[in-house]
Amino acid sequence: MQLYSVIKNDGPGDVLAWKFHGEDFNNGTQLIVAESEEALFYKDGVIEQTFDGGKYTLQTSNYPFISRFRNMFSGGTSAFHCKVYFINKVHKLELFWGTDSPIQLRDPVYKLQTKIKARGSYSIQIKDSKKFLLKLIGNNIQYFTTEEINSYFRSAFLQFIKDEIARTIRDSGREILDIATEKETIAAKLFNSLEEVLDEYGVTLVNFYISAIDIPDDDPNRLKLEEAYANRAVMGILGDNWQAQQSVDIMKGMVTNEGAGGIAAAGAAMGMGFSSLPLMGGMTNEVHRGGLNQYAPVKEPTPQAPATKKCTNCQAENPLTTKFCGECGTQLQEMQVPCKNCQAPISSTAKFCGECGTKQV
């Protein structure tokens, strides 16, 4: 049985916790702990001693707890048996997160059903090594990485993140495209909730950031919302001139609408002079209420061709939603897989994630 006379952290630099590979030590063993870490002596489910940064000589005379670890005598040398874990306590920056699936909601202003995605980063620090080791890592784990802790808390984080973003947008009464500028405010609201999740495991949340909240490009209502948002901005710029502009548009409509009196009606309206613009504003309001819509020409819907796609193998036509050809069984839709980092859906042949940029192969 090998007896070790020096205990120090020889693990990878990017891990949060690492177990020293030996478990049998000489009485008088040297313990070396870096300033940015802690060493925990662990046996039979109990953490007996914690050491901060420094160099220590482990003897029963100055550390009586070692006497409880004695298990053998070899060549006149007293030895003890236990496990030693090194806990990294530096800030671990830029742990990334991203919504695994879109958040379904309705725009508070335009009432259009849409979906949004969000992504960002956060940093943590282990503040209670004992709690971290006992509650999160457990026994006989050689090391614990930042990626593992990111995966461990992903579900809990995303639950709070999705709920808070949806709640903020709903309660704001503002357009989704506008509320997306309030990333800092939403992140501040989320900080306390996420900090409580981590605190239970001896981890503190140092920073939490939201880098983006946006509507996916493939959302069919994205363009509608952008157009509605642009029109609202124009109304704000025109101010009092908006009503006048609407009156002019109504008169143009009268000229080409026989049901409304055509040119004669438009001429009579124009003969009123600019002093009648308030009246025309009332007509505009009437249009918005549907009073004059009865005279608007009805546009016949354009017949739409059946939505199909052609099989690349046998050239057979298949419905757009079909995943495999009904004639030869050839796959018609490209398969999607989750990103290795942020879990966003991407093409199975993609080399990089379109959400976070992580290399996939």
pLDDT in tens, 292-348: 344 444 455 555 655 787 888 888 888 877 777 888 877 776 667 788 888 888 777
Higher-pLDDT residue of 310, 289: 310
Higher-pLDDT residue of 192, 78: 192
User: What is the pTM assigned to this prediction?
Assistant: 0.57
Structure-derived torsion over alpha carbons of residues 165, 170, 172, 175, reported in degrees to the nearest 10: 90
Q: Provide the pLDDT for residue 283.
A: 45
Q: How far apart are CA 254 and CA 261, in angstroms?
A: 7
Higher-pLDDT residue of 236, 204: 204
Q: Supply the DSSP string of 162-216, one letter for each residue.
A: HHHHHHHHHHH-S-HHHHTT-HHHHHHHHHHHHHHHHHTTTEEEEEEEEEEEE--
Backbone angles phi, psi at 40, to 5 degrees: -120, 125
Higher-pLDDT residue of 332, 245: 332
Token pair for 25? 């030590």
- Residue 101 CB-half CA count within 13 A: 5
Q: How many beta carbons lie within 10 A of that of residue 349, not counting itself? A: 10
Token pair for 242? 């908006």
pLDDT band at 92 (very low <50, low <70, confident <90, very high): confident
**Of the candidate ranges 204-208, 243-247, 322-326, the one whose mean pLDDT is the lowest:** 243-247
Q: Supply the DSSP string of 50-78, one letter for each residue.
A: EE-SEEEEE-TTT-GGGGGGEEEEETTEE
- pLDDT higher than 80, residue 288: no
Supply the CATH classification number for the domain 92-214. Answer: 3.30.479.30
Q: How far apart are CA 143 and CA 136, in angstroms?
A: 12
Do 208 and 122 contact (CB within 8 A), yes or no?
yes
pLDDT band at 355 (very low <50, low <70, confident <90, very high): confident
Q: Provide the pLDDT for residue 305.
A: 56
**CA 171 to chain CA centroid, nearest Å:** 20
Q: How many beta carbons lie within 10 A of that of residue 105, not counting itself? A: 17
Do 86 and 38 contact (CB within 8 A), yes or no?
yes
Higher-pLDDT residue of 227, 81: 81
**Of the candidate ranges 6-20, 119-133, 242-256, the one whose mean pLDDT is the lowest:** 242-256
**pLDDT single digits (tens) 122-159:** 999 999 999 998 888 776 678 888 888 888 899 889 99
- Run of H or E residues at 268: helix 262-271
Q: Provide the pLDDT for residue 256.
A: 62
Q: Provide the pLDDT for residue 291.
A: 43
Domain boundaries, the chain: 4-88, 92-214, 312-361
- Run of H or E residues at 30: strand 24-33
Pick the closest to residue 157 from 89, 214, 102, 100 (CA basis): 100
Q: How far apart are CA 337 and CA 361, in angstroms?
A: 13
Mean pLDDT, rounded, for 176-191: 87
Q: How far apart are CA 278 and CA 245, in angstroms?
A: 12
